[in-house]
A and B are shown apart, each in its own frame.
Chain A
Amino acid sequence: MKDRGAISNRGYEEKVMTRHLGRRLRRALRLVFLGASLAVLSVAAQHHPTAAQASVPSAIEIADHALNAPVAVEDEGSYRLIDPVGPGGLTRQAAIGEVVASTMQGGSYGDRQYFGQYGQQIYMPPAQPPHSGANPPPQGGGWGGHRR
């Protein structure tokens, strides 16, 4: 009975040992897995911007966004249409001359289209009323300025 009991105790100890080893192995594996996951996430974070970073456009993105706005192109501003014709206005011949001339007549050179006109389309809305400069404000719609 004693021998049987000794054999039985040894078996019990072996079982306990095996269980302990299994637990340790599983813990070790969990730690390895966690470490590997952290490493992968860390590498991914280095390559992909966070949500906060992604919301800040790059310099070239801001520039291209502005240059793709309709207002980036220039027109004649307040000289866009040919003047009124008739008494007190242009003669018919003068008006025709304005259209067919090979040089600009009465044109105005410089910035005619203001980005402020399309402020909401650009990244930052105007902080103050636009068109405080020397140039008259563009009016109307479509391509902007028109002749009064």
Chain B
Amino acid sequence: MKLHKSLAVLAALLAAGLTYAGAASADGFFHRLRVDSLISDGITLYRTGEYKNSLGKFDAALSLSNDNVEARYDRGLDLYAMGRFSDAAAEFHTCLQQQADFVPALFNLGVTELALNHPDAARAVFLQIINDHPKSVRAHFDMGLSKFLSGQPDQAAKEFAVASLLHPQYVQAHYDRALAEYRTGNLVAADSEAGEALKLNGSYAKAYFLRGAIRLRQGNSPGARNQFETAARVASDPVLKSLCTQILAQIGA
């Protein structure tokens, strides 16, 4: 009799426990669903350029789940898009405090430091990524930008060279290397890299413009004229076109 009573109590307790766990699990499930739905809406709005509304969705998601790294990361993208670079950097920092190995947040922090014109901070970020992932073409490329901004064109040229070696079809890496070499005064290397960029993209107006400047420095006016004329023809940027026109007027016939 006693045994039966004990078993009944145990069964009742088990049933109550299961019911409570089920309810808690259901709550957790719906809570998670709500957060995911807000993040999904936020991403959709971000992609359509509605940053303010998108930000509202991520704020709501974070109010339900303050430690949600994804919502915080995506919020950082919105802030960047709105030009609030300091706030964006703060969000990416918080993401990294919560999850130190979340490398997309680290990378975006580096890009944001560049936007803030903090090349030294950006360099530290990209160096950290390169140390952990030596073949990261993006990290080498952005390290090149950081060094270029820091007034180290020779060092920048090396980083762009690594990026273009890792990914030979990377047109911007060839062009940026050419520009960095031009800054160092190495016109032969600059010309060669601008040529590589043009092999990959025959309508790359800025590469023609750079080649025109190289020809001018080499004292080759007819060659320069040819490059600036091509740049003016293929450029879709009206300012680049007008620059070419001014230069052509100065070079003369």
Residues of A participating in the B interface, judged by any CB pair closer than 8 Å: 56-60, 62-64, 66-67, 70, 72-76, 80-82, 84-89, 92, 95-96, 98-104, 107, 109-116, 118-119, 122-128, 130-135, 139-143, 146-148
Q: B40 near A86 (CB under 8 angstroms)?
A: yes
| Complex interface: chain B residues within 8 A of A74 (CB) | 172, 175-176, 206
- Known interface pairs A130-B239, A141-B85; A85-B103 also in contact (CB < 8 Å): no
Dominant secondary structure at the A interface: loop
- What residues of A have a CB within 8 angstroms of the CB of B73 in the complex? 84-86
**The one of B104, B166, B167, B179 that contacts A73, using a Cβ cutoff of 8 Å:** B179
Binary contact track B238-250/A, C-beta < 8 Å → 1, others 0: 1110110011001
Known contacts A100-B133, A111-B204; is-contact A85 B239 (Cβ 8 Å): no
- CB-CB contacts below 8 Å: B50-82 with A: 70-71, 73-74, 77, 80-81
Task: Specify the chain A residue showing the minimal Cβ separation from B106.
Answer: A99
Could you write out 20 A-B pairs with CB less than 8 Å apart?
A: A59-B250, A63-B243, A72-B179, A73-B145, A75-B145, A81-B108, A84-B43, A86-B40, A86-B43, A86-B74, A87-B37, A88-B44, A99-B139, A101-B136, A103-B167, A104-B138, A110-B203, A122-B239, A142-B116, A146-B111
Instruction: Tell yes or no: B39 within 8 A of A by CB.
Output: yes
Q: Is the CB of B213 within 8 A of A64?
A: yes
- For B204, the chain A residues whose CB sits under 8 A away are 110-111
Contact between chains at B80 and A100 (CB < 8 Å) = no
The 6 closest A-B pairs by CB, nearest first: A133-B236, A142-B115, A59-B250, A86-B70, A88-B40, A63-B213
Output the least CB separation between A79 and chain B (Å).
Answer: 9
Partner of B137, one of A104, A127, A133, A134: A104
B36 in the interface, Cβ–Cβ < 8 Å? yes
Please list the residues of chain B having a beta carbon within 8 angstroms of any beta carbon in chain A: 36-37, 39-40, 42-44, 46-47, 49, 70-71, 73-74, 77, 80-81, 83, 85, 102-104, 106-108, 111, 114-117, 129, 133, 135-139, 141, 145, 148-149, 166-167, 169-172, 175-176, 179, 182, 200-201, 203-206, 209-210, 212-213, 216-217, 224, 235-240, 242-243, 246-247, 250-251
Apart from A99-B136, A115-B240, 10 more pairs, CB < 8 Å: A63-B212, A66-B209, A74-B206, A76-B141, A115-B239, A116-B240, A125-B239, A126-B238, A142-B117, A148-B46
With a cutoff of 8 Å between Cβ atoms, the chain A residues found around residue B116 in the complex are 142
Closest to A116 in B: B239
Contacts of B70 in A (CB 8 A): 85-86, 89, 92
Residues in chain B near residue A62, CB distance under 8 A: 243, 246-247, 250
- Best-surrounded residue of B42, B71, B141, B240 (most CB of chain A within 10 A): B240
Beta-carbon contact of B216 and A60 below 8 Å: yes
A80 engages B239 (CB within 8 Å) = no
**Are B172's CB and A112's CB within 8 A?**
yes
Q: Which chain A residues lie closer than 8 Å to B203 at the CB level?
A: 110
**Which residue in chain B gives the minimum CB-CB distance to A132?**
B236
Distance in Å: Cβ of A57 to nearest Cβ of chain B: 8
Residues of chain B lying within 8 A (CB to CB) of residue A66:
209, 240, 243
Task: Give the residue name and chain of the B residue nearest to A79 (CB).
Answer: B138
Contacts of A103 in B (CB 8 A): 137, 166-167
**B250 in contact with A58 (CB, 8 Å):** yes
Taking a contact as CB atoms under 8 Å apart, the answer to whether A87 and B216 are in contact is no
Given contacts A84-B77, A123-B243, A141-B85, whether A110 and B136 have CB atoms under 8 Å apart is no
Q: Which residue of B lies closest to A103 (CB)?
A: B167
Q: Is there contact, CB below 8 Å, between B239 and A119? A: yes
User: Across the two chains, which residue of chain A brings its CB closest to B203?
Assistant: A110
